Amino acid sequence: MKFFVKTFGCQMNEHDSEIIAGVMASAGYQQAEDIGGADIVIVNTCCIRESAENKIWGFIGNLKNLKDHKPGMILAVVGCMMQQNTIGEMLHRRGRHLDIVLGTYQQHRLPEYVSRILAGEKQIVDISEDNRDFPDSLPTMRVNDLSAQVNIMYGCNNFCSYCIVPYVRGRERSRDFGAILAEVRELAAAGVREVMLLGQNVNSYGKDLRRATPDADVPDFAAVLRAVSEIEGIERIRYMSSHPRDFSAELADVIATLPKVRAYCHLPLQSGSDRVLRAMNRGYDTAAYYAILERIRRHTPDVVITTDLIVGFPGETGEEFAETLDFVAKCRFDAAYTFLYSPRSGTPAARMDGQIAEREKKERLARLTAVQNAVSLDINRGYIGRTVDVLVEGPSKNNPDLMTGRTPGNKIVICRGDMGMVGQTLPLTITEAKTWHLEAL
């Protein structure tokens, strides 16, 4: 039997899908090339914003037609959206045709549940939060040969007031240090050049282990970075996401000593207003945030820094939004991922007064994007004439006659070449700069 995984959402979800595919493949199922060729369709869901959820319910609804035309097809829906407290009612309304529903803690059990459906059981729902026997290493079917994602943490303890992640992914759990290193070594041996260390809040690595075993010498995030840096064959190390509250000056100093790590940093700011940051429960103000940027840039002046921003948080006034515009201009991010605030059921912000109209949010988003795009373009123009190391990844999506690669700071570079260059790191001179990419033509 063949399976197909459709993924919505973040990098964490993309990697979860690689694990789901790995687990299914080791249970003897084969991967289908497209959804039409699959006997088992698995949808990995995201609930971070309402727009994602609406899209996914639409997708799941359409699968009903596919299933009607293909009796015996198994439909499994897994991940964050299924772990929400409102899911029971939603399944009743829109998910009666689903065979298997799994939350974020039970995805590795999918083959077991597929067997039970094949044996004649009706809809199985397992959204239990018991993950005591969650394995430290699971088979993984990776999408990319050069760049791999590696989990180091699960869950989040931060409870930012807008965010649903702590409710659907649970408390912070650090993965075993040895298991992380073993996985990266294996990847390096298989030819992988870049690893992305994943967690909702990677800076917290080890805190839970230290609480559990106060006497043991438990490594922290800096120790993970140091150890992964020593693994031969891995040229670039990224991490996602880090939290400014936990990004200490010491960590910035350690990173500065690690050439494989220091070129890139994603540091979500969320808002440039101190009042809004407090209401978001972020645990830092703009001065503290700026101090980290200065610390990072003092050591590594051409570091690439990206961020996340939310516009239209409840009660955000016009002046507070203007503070965000000013602060974003001052920070000079290379790029920003910008989002309209989306109320999530069960989070404190969804119950706050001063919810902002969709139209106003969209207007603010457009103004913010304009400010950021101007900065991005200005920074990218500074690369023209410079020679940078480009790790060539493959043909460009927009023009298959050209190749695409990335700088150490993760900027996309369009260049000439052929498939023989894939996997090589080449010094290329930048000839042109756009808002979202560089060119070496």
How many residues of this chain bind ligand 5AD (CB under 6 A)? 12
One of 4, 162, 321, 383 touching ligand 5AD (CB under 6 A): 162
Burial of 373 (0-12, 13-18, 19+ CB in 10 A): middle
Q: Which two tokens stand for residue 64?
A: 């009903």
Instruction: Out of 174, 342, 372, 407, name the contact with ligand 5AD by CB under 6 A.
Output: 342
How far is CA 62 from its chain centroid? 26
Cα separation, 336 vs 308, in Å, equals 6
The distance in angstroms from the start CA to the end CA of the chain is: 46
Least distance CB 187 / ligand 5AD (angstroms): 25
Q: Verify binding: residue 48, ligand 5AD, rule CB under 6 A.
A: yes
Phi and psi angles of residue 138, each rounded to the nearest 5 degrees, phi first: -125, 150
**In sequence order, what DSSP letters do the residues of 115-161 get, joined into one string?**
HHHHTT---EEE-----TT--S------S-SSEEEEE-EE------T
- With CB under 5 to 8 Å by kind, the binding choice for 243 among ligand 5AD, ligand SF4, none is ligand SF4
Residue closer to ligand SF4 (CB basis): 129 or 378: 129
* 144: its two tokens: 């990319």
Residue 303 contacts ligand SF4 per CB under 6 A: no
| CB-nearer residue toward ligand SF4: 200 or 273 | 200
What is the arrangement of strands in the sheet containing 2-7, beginning at the earlier edge strand? Answer: 30-31, 2-7, 40-45, 74-79, 100-102, 124-126
Give which of ligand 5AD, ligand SF4, none residue 310 binds (C-beta under 5 to 8 Å, depending on kind): ligand 5AD
Q: Per CB under 6 A, does 202 bind ligand SF4?
A: no
Residue in the structure block whose two tokens are 């140091």: 226
Q: Is 441 helix (H, G, I), strand (E, B) or coil?
A: coil
Tokens of 204: 């917290």
Structure tokens at 324: 């965000």
Residue 158, contacted partner among ligand 5AD, ligand SF4, none, CB below 5-8 A by kind? ligand SF4
How far is Cα 423 from Cα 392, in angstroms, rounded to an integer?
A: 6
Phi-psi region of 385 (alpha: psi -120 to 50; beta: other; left: phi over 0): left
Q: Considering beta carbons, is residue 159 or 337 the nearer one to ligand SF4?
A: 159
- CB under 5 to 8 A by kind: which of ligand 5AD, ligand SF4, none does 327 bind? none
Among 20, 21, 47, 49, binds ligand 5AD (CB under 6 A): 49
| Beta carbon of residue 286, minimum distance to ligand SF4 (angstroms, whole number) | 17
Q: Which stretch binds ligand 5AD (CB under 6 A): 201-209, 317-325, 340-348, 418-426?
A: 340-348
- Site for ligand SF4, residues 154 to 183, rule: CB under 6 A: 156, 158-160, 163, 165-166
Number of Cβ atoms within 10 Å of the Cβ of 435: 15
Site string for ligand SF4, 365-404 (x = CB under 6 A): ----------------------------------------
Q: Which helix (H) or strand (E) holds 388?
A: strand 387-395
Exactly one of 155, 268, 272, 405 binds ligand 5AD (CB under 6 A); that residue is 268
Binding to ligand 5AD by residue 282, rule CB under 6 A?
A: no
Of 344, 364, 406, 411, the residue at the interface with ligand 5AD (CB under 6 A) is: 344
In DSSP terms, 412 is beta-bridged to: 406, 437
User: Could you tell me how far CA 34 lies from the centroid of its own chain?
Assistant: 24
341 touches ligand 5AD by CB under 6 A: yes
223-252 residues near ligand SF4, rule: CB under 6 A: 243
The pattern of x and - marking residues 305 through 334 that bind ligand 5AD according to CB under 6 A reads ---x-x------------------------
The binder of 98, among ligand SF4, ligand 5AD, none, by C-beta within 5 to 8 A per type, is none
Place of tokens 């922290």: 220
Answer with the entry of ligand SF4, ligand 5AD, none that 154 interacts with (C-beta below 5 to 8 A by kind): none
- Strand 147-151 versus strand 194-198 pairing type: parallel
The residue among 144, 143, 188 whose CA lies nearest residue 21 is 143
- Nearest to ligand SF4 of 123, 131 (CB atom): 131
Q: Collapsing DSSP states into helix, strand and coil, what is residue 257?
A: coil
Binding residues for ligand SF4 (CB under 6 A) = 156, 158-160, 163, 165-166, 200-201, 243
Binding residues for ligand 5AD (CB under 6 A) = 48-49, 162-163, 268, 270, 308, 310, 339, 341-342, 344
